[in-house]
Amino acid sequence: MGIKLALGLGAHVVAFTTSDSKRQDALKLGADEVVVSRNPSEMALHGSSLNLIVNTVAVSHGYNWRKTGKNGRTSENRKWCYLTGWQRD
């Protein structure tokens, strides 16, 4: 769902997964890049490069993503969803 939302917003989509076996699935869904979060070198590439993070993890993962956002556009993106009638399947 996060990939669909980001694509709908016209974003460059970076999907995060804990498993390399899910890389192809994320690419098939439309992600531009896939990062395996258990790989420190892949994580380091995106440490401060993201504008919006949609976290769909239902468990605590220990990352402090608040430090990564560049421009605080979360409310702008929520407004776009409301105004365009975008909703999940």
Question: SS3 string of 21-50?
Answer: HHHHHHHHHCCCEEEECCCHHHHHHCCCCC
Residues in the chain: 89
Domain boundaries, the chain: 2-84
Instruction: Using a cut of 0.95, tell me whether the model's pTM lies above it.
Output: no
* The CATH number, out of the four listed (3.40.50.720, 3.90.1150.10, 3.30.300.30, 3.90.580.10), of the domain defined by the range 2-84: 3.40.50.720
What per-residue confidence (pLDDT) applies to 30?
94
Indicate left, alpha or beta for 85 from its phi (over 0: left) and psi (-120 to 50: alpha). left
pLDDT digits (tens, 9 = 90+) for 14-67: 998 888 999 999 999 999 999 998 888 888 887 677 777 777 776 666 655 544
